[in-house]
Amino acid sequence: MQQGYLPFRNTGYFSSLICDYLDENPNLKQFYNHFPTLGNFKTQIDDRAASNLSSESQRSTLVSVLKKQYKNIETSEWSLQNIESLQSKDTFTITTGHQLNLFTGPLYFLYKIVSVINLSKELKETYPEYNFVPIYWMATEDHDFDEINYFNFKGKKVQWNRESQGAVGELSLEGLEDVFNLYSKELGTSKNADYLRKLFSNAYLNHTNLADATRYLANELFKDHGLVIIDANDTDLKKQFMPFMEDELLNQTAFKSVSETNKNLSKDYSIQVNPREINLFYLKENLRERIVFEDDVYKVLNTEINWSKNDIQKELSEHPERFSPNVIMRPLYQEVILPNLCYTGGGGELAYWFQLKQFFNTVNVPFPILLLRNSVLIKTEQQADKLKKLNISNEDIFLKRDTFINKKVREISNINIDFSPQKIHLEAQFKELFKLAEQTDKSFVGAVKAQEVKQLKGLENLEKRLLKSQKKTLADQVFRITELQEQLFPNKSLQERNANFSEFYLEYGERLIPNLIKNLEPLKGEFLILNL
């Protein structure tokens, strides 16, 4: 097994916002609390302990809800102990969240969870007087079914086709037997293939809804590492969030705070999400629609449901489970009900968290440490050998396709395709011509400049033609290097955003997750290239 690392900025796949955050650009400091270092976690613990959140009764409710959710699931003693430990004021959570993607969806689902598991271990070693529990927050209240109803396997899209309304966590698993049969045929007959069949079948054919299936799946993959899985679509948990939801309905605090932040953040970066005036949905069976306030009446879009101010307060008091936070309010909900220190997510997730710092300050809730999850490129032994023979570095393989081909063709060509020396020589000659023109007739300066541009352009065109000719001559080598890059970057994107874990489980079996646990370092802050 071999490792390599690249700075995230050098991969070309991460935004300037994320790269500036990792570089601790001072212009971003106002948008987060503490940067993720081991020392700063102690400060975050103190901030959290000083808040009025995570009281004994709140912790008791959390433990009670988790025990209820784990009642019919076989898990490890470690996970059960982690749940029990949440009753203690010295226990804190390290959280990641993800949609209920079919069969985990993209490969980075694993990397998110491994990141929080490994960070929890590292914190325990550094601060043994505290306990740290890795949490996977299931996005059971999402309603974007089209984003989660498929996964990619060996270049093919395995898709679950059906109608969907309301929160996806409550969705029945109708139609997944057909998906299983199609997927099963692609797996082959190995021992690892049999395990994947059993895992898929037990998760999706032996449970009644998508939330239960996903809980089973994540538990099976990570129970031996103490992971705790939470479904926050729960009446008792939402009761704790009622004051914040009432404030949202009556005062539109999130809209005002986030809008102000967006004005400042947008000076240098793109805005990930825009707040609504009310950032809550109304949730019932087969229904999750936005709540709006129009003409002094609260309404649920695309329905006949409406309330007066007093009536919606009464509805919230009697049925808090019917109110569902959107992307702006969900992070606050998480921090209210969990004794959380850190949220671990991808670049897109962290981008909208940066929009929330002022909002958290306004409602007096500690803002968590934000950690970019681990990113990994897995190379098989065969791929690693080919890359070595072709003299392709880790930096090379991350280049965009045309840049990658042009660089390698120049390297392997037996003639020099780089006309840079000729361009430098030409520019030097024109410097003398410019001096001559200025000394004689300055009207000639424009003519000299036009001639310089024309001749440099001519050299560039000759260089491009020669490069194109060499690509044809070296077509076999070009095919081999591009084929390798396509294997490692399917659809010209990061492997982790396309491939499903089952492709790699077929290859590595039960060694896959332990190898990730062994190699992923959450606080390293670099992209991992892993040769398995």
Phi, psi dihedral angles at 329 (to 5 degrees)? -90, -25
The model's confidence at residue 311, banded by pLDDT at 50, 70 and 90, is very high
- Judged against a pLDDT cut of 70, whether residue 413 lies above it is answered with no
- Judged against a pLDDT cut of 90, whether residue 52 lies above it is answered with no
Spatial contact of 278 and 316, defined as CB atoms under 8 Å apart: no
Per-residue pLDDT, averaged over 380-404, amounts to: 92
Spatial contact of 496 and 115, defined as CB atoms under 8 Å apart: no
End-to-end Cα spacing for the chain: 5
Residue 104 lies in a domain: yes
Q: 350 with 278, same domain?
A: no
One-letter amino acid at 349 equals E
Could you give the 3-state DSSP secondary structure of residue 33? Answer: coil
- 150: alpha, beta or left, given left = phi > 0 and alpha = psi -120 to 50? beta
pLDDT for position 462: 66
- Judged against a pLDDT cut of 70, whether residue 1 lies above it is answered with no
pLDDT for position 417: 59
Per-residue pLDDT, averaged over 171-194, amounts to: 96
Dihedral angle sign, alpha carbons of residues 194, 199, 202, 205? negative
Distance separating alpha carbons of residues 234 and 211, to the nearest angstrom: 12
- Judged against a pLDDT cut of 60, whether residue 414 lies above it is answered with no
**Would strands 228-231 and 131-138 be described as parallel, antiparallel, or unpaired?**
parallel
Alpha-carbon torsion angle 111, 117, 123, 124, nearest 10: -160
Spatial contact of 62 and 95, defined as CB atoms under 8 Å apart: no
Question: Which H or E element spans position 39?
Answer: helix 38-50
The model's confidence at residue 419, banded by pLDDT at 50, 70 and 90, is low
**Would strands 280-284 and 131-138 be described as parallel, antiparallel, or unpaired?**
unpaired
The model's confidence at residue 473, banded by pLDDT at 50, 70 and 90, is low
Q: 15 with 131, same domain?
A: yes
Residue 76's CB is within 10 A of a number of other CB atoms, namely 15
Least confident of 14-23, 177-186, 432-441, 466-475: 466-475
In sequence order, what are the beta bridge partners of 344?
A: 96, 371
**Structure-token match 């995570």, residue found:** 54
pLDDT digits (tens, 9 = 90+) for 203-218: 999 999 999 999 999 9
pLDDT for position 471: 59
Distance separating alpha carbons of residues 403 and 411, to the nearest angstrom: 12
Dihedral angle sign, alpha carbons of residues 107, 113, 114, 116? positive
Spatial contact of 106 and 151, defined as CB atoms under 8 Å apart: yes
Cα atoms in the Cβ-side hemisphere of radius 13 Å centred on 41: 24
- Rounded to the nearest integer, the mean pLDDT of the chain is 93
Residues 6+ apart with CB under 8 A from 119: 94, 132, 134, 342, 344, 371, 522, 523
- Judged against a pLDDT cut of 90, whether residue 190 lies above it is answered with yes
The last residue of one of the domains, among 284, 299, 325, is 325
Distance separating alpha carbons of residues 316 and 401, to the nearest angstrom: 53
- Judged against a pLDDT cut of 70, whether residue 523 lies above it is answered with yes
Q: 344 with 313, same domain?
A: no
- Judged against a pLDDT cut of 80, whether residue 478 lies above it is answered with no
pLDDT digits (tens, 9 = 90+) for 70-109: 999 999 999 999 999 999 999 999 999 999 999 999 999 9
Q: What DSSP character marks residue 29? A: G
pLDDT for position 303: 97
pLDDT for position 477: 80
Could you give the 3-state DSSP secondary structure of residue 123? Answer: helix
pLDDT for position 476: 74
pLDDT for position 488: 97
The model's confidence at residue 427, banded by pLDDT at 50, 70 and 90, is confident
| 49, 139, 224, 472 from 114: Cα distances, Å | 26, 18, 12, 45
pLDDT digits (tens, 9 = 90+) for 238-288: 999 999 999 999 999 999 999 999 999 999 999 999 999 999 999 999 999
pLDDT for position 79: 98
Residue 18 lies in a domain: yes
* Number of domains composing the chain: 3
Distance separating alpha carbons of residues 450 and 169, to the nearest angstrom: 65
Residue 46 lies in a domain: yes
The model's confidence at residue 437, banded by pLDDT at 50, 70 and 90, is confident
Q: 15 with 140, same domain?
A: yes
- Judged against a pLDDT cut of 80, whether residue 411 lies above it is answered with no
Write out the residue range of the structural domain in which residue 304 sits. 238-249+270-325
The model's confidence at residue 470, banded by pLDDT at 50, 70 and 90, is low
Q: Give the burial class of 294: count Cβ atoms within 10 A of its Cβ; 0-12 exposed, 13-18 middle, 19 or more buried.
A: exposed
The last residue of one of the domains, among 309, 325, 341, is 325
Least confident of 67-81, 212-226, 343-357, 438-452: 438-452
One-letter amino acid at 437 equals A
Q: 106 with 25, same domain?
A: yes
Could you give the 3-state DSSP secondary structure of residue 523? Answer: coil
Give the tokens for residue 449: 């400049």
pLDDT for position 71: 96
Residue 232 lies in a domain: yes
Q: 475 with 454, same domain?
A: yes
Residue 522 lies in a domain: yes
Distance separating alpha carbons of residues 215 and 73, to the nearest angstrom: 9
Give the tokens for residue 364: 């007096």
Q: 371 with 318, same domain?
A: no
Full-model pTM:
0.90
pLDDT digits (tens, 9 = 90+) for 100-145: 999 999 999 999 999 999 999 999 999 999 999 999 999 999 999 9
Q: 108 with 28, same domain?
A: yes
Q: Which of 303, 271, 308, 298 is nearest to 286 (CA)?
A: 303
Spatial contact of 487 and 137, defined as CB atoms under 8 Å apart: no
Distance separating alpha carbons of residues 35 and 340, to the nearest angstrom: 15
Per-residue pLDDT, averaged over 472-497, amounts to: 87
420-440 core/surface letters (b: 16 or more CB in 10 A; e: else): eeeeeebeeebeebeeebeee
Per-residue pLDDT, averaged over 160-181, amounts to: 95
Residues 6+ apart with CB under 8 A from 304: none
pLDDT for position 271: 96
Spatial contact of 522 and 122, defined as CB atoms under 8 Å apart: yes
Residue 233 lies in a domain: yes
pLDDT for position 436: 75
pLDDT for position 469: 58
Q: How far does CA 497 lie from the centroid of its chain?
A: 9
Q: 129 with 119, same domain?
A: yes
Q: 418 with 450, same domain?
A: yes
Angle between helical axes of 191-204 and 210-222 (0-180°, round to 10): 140
Residue 476 lies in a domain: yes
Q: 340 with 290, same domain?
A: no
Q: What percent of the chain has pLDDT over 90?
A: 83
Residue 254 lies in a domain: no
pLDDT for position 171: 96
Extract the runs of DSSP E, i.e. beta strands, from 203-259: 228-231
The model's confidence at residue 53, banded by pLDDT at 50, 70 and 90, is very high
Distance separating alpha carbons of residues 241 and 237, to the nearest angstrom: 7
Q: 457 with 470, same domain?
A: yes
pLDDT digits (tens, 9 = 90+) for 34-46: 999 999 999 999 9
Angle between helical axes of 512-519 and 501-508 (0-180°, round to 10): 100
Per-residue pLDDT, averaged over 24-49, amounts to: 97
Give 428 or 169, the one with higher predicted confidence: 169
Give the tokens for residue 157: 């899209």
